[in-house]
Structure 1
Amino acid sequence: MSTTSTDQAALSPGRAPGVLTEPEPMTVRSGWDTSVRCPVVPPDLQDCAPAGTPVNDDDPRMLYHASLGMVATPDVEHGLKVARRLLRVNRQSVQARVHVAVDGERGTGKTALTHLIGRAHQGRMEQLCGIDPNRIPVICVNAPPSRDDAVNWSAQIAVFLGWDLYRRDIDGKAVLRTKDWTGPAVHVMRASKTRLVLIDGVDRLRDSDIQPTFDFFDFLAAEIGLTLFWCGTGAREILHEARGERSPALPRPADTRHIPTPRNSVPTLWVSPLPYTEVWGRTLNGFDEKLRLHHHKKQGLLEHAALLYRVSEGRMEHLAPLISLAAQISIEEGGEAITEDVLHEAAAFLDRIPYDT
């Protein structure tokens, strides 16, 4: 299985190469657009400081290795393919309203896959239609932590759109301009041809927030023709529950009562810990190709496959920062190669000590 060019570009984090800046969050439009339009370009070793040269934190390779992005694992490739097909069929439909769950154990890369799907979709739209400042193909929001009052999703969308939610009263205190941004949000999303909304962290929702959340986004989907991706551990069951509440049991014809009532379908993209098989080797080789170290030999990470698996437990949330930190340590200390000692040092910093040490 292979990824398209826009899918492949989405696998790299969005950041101007060699520039020491704090990346903006993906839940604001400017940060999201940067992640789509500015994929990191690996520095050329021939243009970098020679091996052993002391480097600063703003060295291009230190910045580059800080975030190596994702690798196209089988779950990632499958998720991108299925999402691309769903979005393609929904593109011309005014009745899309497709709810998709991105589910799996913690630390497996669900959020990363969800963002990849959105970035790949926007990349395809901008290839087809060009970059238009008035077009917002994708909106990305994150479930806020539980509070005493209900979750204000319209405010989350307003934040993504870059609206100023507060004004100063006569005493100079910041007060909300309005509590409900739904009407303006629908107007802007419809005018800007928004077709995809990513909702991350749904597992943080309180039980009392699940139904109002689903109702809000289902309304948006009906008004605009959206495809919605719900990300979080247990997202599939959360959607089943919400859709079940909206679909009460109705009387059925007598001749069909012996047939089990079909359960509300929820298309689900599963993200699992990587198995210690050839998949693990391909994943390590994928990261290996991203490294820019003077003395690191090709497929050198395979020599530490067992150690990397014990430390990361096959979870992308642990593997990616482990390799990033190890690469930075090897540059800082002058070894310019990821060795077992460097991996142990990186694991200690990340509190991921291998079980057998």
Structure 2
Amino acid sequence: MKASVELRDKREARLRQQLKDTPMRPLPLFQLTGWTHFVDEEVNPPVLASGSSPAQGRKTDEQAISYHRHLRMVPTDAMTHMQQAVVEAVHRNSGCREGLMDHVIDGPTGTGKTCLLRAVGRTAQQEIEAARNGRRPNTIPVVHITTPADPELRVNWIWEIGSYLGLNPEPKSLAEVLEMRRHQDVTLPVNYVLETAQTRLLLIDDINRALPQQLANVLPYFDYLRDKLGISLIFCGTGASHLLHQARILAGDLTRVSEENRLRLQQADRPPAPVSPSPTALLPVTWLHPLPLGTEAKEQEVFRRVLASFEADLSLYRLEEHALSQHAAELHRRTGGYFKALTYVISTAAVIAIRSGSENITMKEIDAATAQLGP
């Protein structure tokens, strides 16, 4: 026990150092220490000195550059709706014994699904902790995992949860890593911790990396977490809704095979049972699409409102009013309205503005930023 505690402490110390050195790396978000840091993190823009002239050394100001490299996810209608729906579902699921349902975030690549998933998880945890009058020791409201590199075996999925909880033993040497052939089964300790830590929400990202058959193998375990422990699940990934539908069909077929063989003759003389809709056909799905910029005033308003939110987050000395909004049509043409590309262009243009000393985003900075996207 003492050895495992020491290993856990060393792991957390290393994570804290990683967060200090490279706070925006994704890896710590899939471990409890890093996720908790993300939930508590307050990203404030660097304070601008009085006047319109940058302070000396501004062009190499790592704090200002780091801030603009990672702009926050600005609110959109889909994000607001999803946060409200999931928080409500988490509270409802924790207070009922039946009717628990999963949620899905789906849409084309680059539309901001992962950003939304994490924003929803952070909001849900903050809501849960606020309802409990603060964070309680030994509680883990939210677990955030990604689809394992090898999603074939159920044990690999549970290993991802165990890694987040800090239950998996770390290898002591490179030789021990090379000797590992498959993950150990940590189902029992994972179940115990999830139950005693009162976990309420499980976020599963990049579900599109799994095949329907691979997901079908683990769905019964996710059903167990939902039905016994009352844990709400959010699946995220391109094509997630279709994938879950196919996996649910396969999972049902796998569990019905022996029963169908046993009752085949009996059922031959009976009228067919009414067909029920697939559970996943009724799943609440949040669809993310590229932000529109059509001819209708409402569509233009959505895109310009997003740009205005980005403008409010920028911390540049000479940023003109409506610096981004006035170039809405061109920004939409170059990014296609894809949230990931739009965020990249704006944040890159802001860094270019700092390093060049212009401290403003014009077509010059936008040209330089989009040139780095390639043809």
Fold match, TM over 0.5? yes
Query: Secondary structure of the equivalent of 2:202?
Result: strand
2:135 to 121, 131, 137: 131
The answer as to whether partners of 1:236 and 1:268 remain within 8 angstroms in 2 is yes
Instruction: Assess, with a 3 A threshold, how the Cα gap between structure 1 residues 48 and 38 changes in structure 2: closer, same or farther.
Output: farther
**Where does structure 2 lack aligned partners over 5 or more consecutive residues?**
1-15, 261-266, 294-299
The answer as to whether partners of 1:20 and 1:63 remain within 8 angstroms in 2 is no
Instruction: Assess, with a 3 A threshold, how the Cα gap between structure 1 residues 151 and 183 changes in structure 2: closer, same or farther.
Output: closer
2:84 to 68, 81, 89: 81
- Which residue pairs with 2:144 in the alignment? 140
- Which residue pairs with 1:63 in the alignment? 66
1:88-99 correspondence runs (5 A)? 88-95=91-98, 97-99=100-102
- Which residue pairs with 1:275 in the alignment? 292
- Which residue pairs with 2:41 in the alignment? 38
Distance 1:243 1:148 in 2: 16
The answer as to whether partners of 1:65 and 1:291 remain within 8 angstroms in 2 is yes
The answer as to whether partners of 2:93 and 2:232 remain within 8 angstroms in 1 is yes
- Which residue pairs with 2:5 in the alignment? none
Distance 1:216 1:247 in 2: 13
Deviations 1:54-84 (A, max 9, x none): 3365532212111111111111112112112
- CA offset at residue 49 of structure 1? 10
- Is residue 101 from structure 1 mapped to residue 116 from structure 2 by the alignment? no
Instruction: Assess, with a 3 A threshold, how the Cα gap between structure 1 residues 237 and 255 changes in structure 2: closer, same or farther.
Output: closer
- Which residue pairs with 1:195 in the alignment? 200
Distance 1:158 1:255 in 2: 44
| Identity percentage of aligned residues | 31
- Which residue pairs with 1:21 in the alignment? 22
**Bigger mean CA deviation after superposition, 89-98 or 64-73:** 89-98
Deviations 1:224-264 (A, max 9, x none): 1110000011111122122233446997995985xx64343
Q: Structure 2: which amino acid aligns with 1:235?
A: A
- CA offset at residue 97 of structure 1? 4.1
Q: Structure 1: which amino acid aligns with 2:62?
A: D
Instruction: Assess, with a 3 A threshold, how the Cα gap between structure 1 residues 287 and 208 changes in structure 2: closer, same or farther.
Output: same
**Bigger mean CA deviation after superposition, 43-52 or 93-102:** 43-52
Deviations 1:147-183 (A, max 9, x none): 77666111101111123433449x9624569611111
Q: Structure 2: which amino acid aligns with 1:21?
A: T
Deviations 1:203-238 (A, max 9, x none): 110233120122221122223111000001111112
- CA offset at residue 128 of structure 1? 2.5
**Where does structure 1 lack aligned partners over 5 or more consecutive residues?**
1-14
Structure ranking higher in helix proportion: 2
Instruction: Assess, with a 3 A threshold, how the Cα gap between structure 1 residues 94 and 49 changes in structure 2: closer, same or farther.
Output: farther
Deviations 1:115-170 (A, max 9, x none): 1111000011222221223110000100123477666111101111123433449x
Instruction: Assess, with a 3 A threshold, how the Cα gap between structure 1 residues 95 and 30 changes in structure 2: closer, same or farther.
Output: farther
1:120-269 correspondence runs (5 A)? 120-129=123-132, 130-146=134-150, 152-168=156-172, 173-174=176-177, 179-247=184-252, 261-264=276-279, 265-269=282-286
- Is residue 331 from structure 1 mapped to residue 331 from structure 2 by the alignment? no
Query: Secondary structure of the equivalent of 1:152?
Result: helix
Instruction: Assess, with a 3 A threshold, how the Cα gap between structure 1 residues 48 and 217 changes in structure 2: closer, same or farther.
Output: farther
- CA offset at residue 202 of structure 1? 0.8
The answer as to whether partners of 1:158 and 1:165 remain within 8 angstroms in 2 is no
